[in-house]
Structure 1
Amino acid sequence: MLSPTGAEAGADADAVKEPARRPASPSRRGIGVPRAGLRHLSLAGVLVVLVAVGAFTRPEQFLTADNLQLILTQSSVIGVVTVGVTFVIIGGGIDLSVGAIVALASVWATTVATQEFGLGGVLLCALAVGLGCGLVNGVLIAYGPMVPFIATLAMLASARGLALLISDGKTQVVTVPSVLDLGVSDSYVLGVPPLVLVFAAVAVLGWLVLGRTTFGRRTVAVGGNAEASRLAGIAVRRQRLLLYLLSGLCCGIAAFMLIVLTGSGQNTNGNLYELDAIAAAIIGGTLLSGGRGTITGSVLGVLVFTTITNLFALNNLQTDVQQIAKGAIIVAAVLVQKGRKSP
């Protein structure tokens, strides 16, 4: 039998190597980035539509500087909580206790004993309570036998109960002038309330940490596939613990912001914050199964929800209608996610 010529051999070799030179499929080229950008543009478009509706239905009220400041201020507290919740969900967890942690931190930080230490005492106490609750959640979930749903549900009940016990069901009025001064118009920076600046700072830091640091990449990896992350050398348990500590820290910051905003601490503070934060993260593109999400999307989700609530209030619509609308938005967002994941 004649041996193949050099040209024929080269052709055979090229034929063998051809599969290796095939271009990667679109799903391997980072198609998630364009999708995230498209979702952000869509949410921005929704905001524009909502602003147009407000300008058409209540032009003398909606477009005023005071109302726009109100929308941003109301977005700030729940927005900070949403940043922490977004990290937890991307990491494959869930946190149902954020609202109760905010209530407990606000109550503990406004006791008479705490207020004797001034602004620093109130702030540090709120942060310490948030971190403490986050630590308990993290230990139970990362190193204990509990799944996130059960552990954070138990924290929700315990924190609410402890907040009620400390406050005795009463409103605790803040008497520290330096704390109250942060909520008055004289403290605004170029017309922007300090609480909005805090929210912006937390959101920017969250965006940088998630997208530009090893911690962020590990969070996405653990949420996408915990076992593969463990085999790759990532300390999965420690990562989960840190995520719940981060969520608790955000709750502590939000509690202090709420104290500044209301001038008081109450055991009813943060009511349904867990649902609002999770909903904002979902419509912002964060997968409930973990492994994907953006801080930008979550921030836009918060602004959409807050603007809707403001529009309903200006148009004298009932609270039950607001809740129904929020539920419909959540269902629509989840259905969109399911549709995009299907082949």
Structure 2
Amino acid sequence: MRRNNLIGILLLFLFCSCTGDKKANTESKTEKESNTVQNDLVQLTAEQFKNAGIQTGVAVQKEMNATLNVNGLTEAPPENVFSITVPLGGFIKKTNLIPGMMVRKGSVLASMEDQKYILLQQDYLAAKNKLKFAEADYARQKGLNLTKATSDKIFQQTESEFNQQKILLSSLAEQLRLIGLNPAALSDKNISRTIQIYAPIDAYVTKVNVNSGKYVNPADVLFELINPRKLHLSLTVLENDASRLKEGQKIICYSNKDPEKKYHATIHLITPNIEDDRSTSVHCDLENSGRELLPGTYMNATIKLENATVTALPEEALVKWEGKFYVFTDQGQYRYKMINVQPGVSTAGFTEIKSALPEKSIVLKNAYALLMKMKNGGE
């Protein structure tokens, strides 16, 4: 009997011990989860609130000479990009171009050869000789017609053949000019199977699509050239900010490679269309771009907005933590929630707030006291 009572007491002790450990673990886990979920909240007592000197209020609308920070890419305007083609096609005889090379206007990009070039020159010289005969026959028939020694019909036929031959010769001459041959200098002694392709401008070679021995068709692009001296700047601007811009506005921009080097630009065109990401493109003329800027360079830009009405808070309302800016909103019962904001320019003790703010009172003074309490557990 006594032995049975002892066993019962031991079992009851073990049960209570297990139950207590389980309850302690549950409470610890709950407390940990609560801290994880509410790590952006801070709770004060009435005494702590009084000692911290916290003041709350709402954001105000102020007129500021604000700035807008955006980014984009440099690009060459269409009139400075050249795609080199050959109207008659042919075989590439020789080219020494590689991407990145600088070429001068009038320099040889490639030489080509084909039987079509020979036939075109042959047709031109034959048409030229026929025109001489047609012209002489026309003059003869015109004289005979004046004396009525020949009929009007024969004279009209001769005149028509003479005019048709002139049209044919003019057409063939233009075809020769298309492939870079001068019809005035062509004779039976200098017929060539080779033509030269010349650079139309001073430019950089950005694409080379051919090699020696390759046959190209009239629609094929052999090379692409870009003149980088007149670059444009294409900026990406959000929908809400685009309405604050206008053509002729001045911009200061710089590249990541050399932030100290400042470039000036002027807004040339604002695209009247909003993309799916709620942004639009703003095209600007670069005023002092040099050869160090190439098409496709990533650029940062600052745009001055004159007398813009913006949402602003006192500078004391913002706190900085780990490289980001925050404000505290009043949740009631001495509880405050920290939210991330994007600041703009600061003027006369106020800072522009670019991000949307919740419709709650905001801590305007001594916000750093809340940050210290939250991060360090200070009183």
| TM-score > 0.5 by shorter chain | no
Structure with bigger RCO (C-alpha 8 Å, 6+ apart): 1
TM-score by length of 1: 0.29
Q: TM-score, normalised by structure 2?
A: 0.27
Largest Rg, 1 or 2: 2
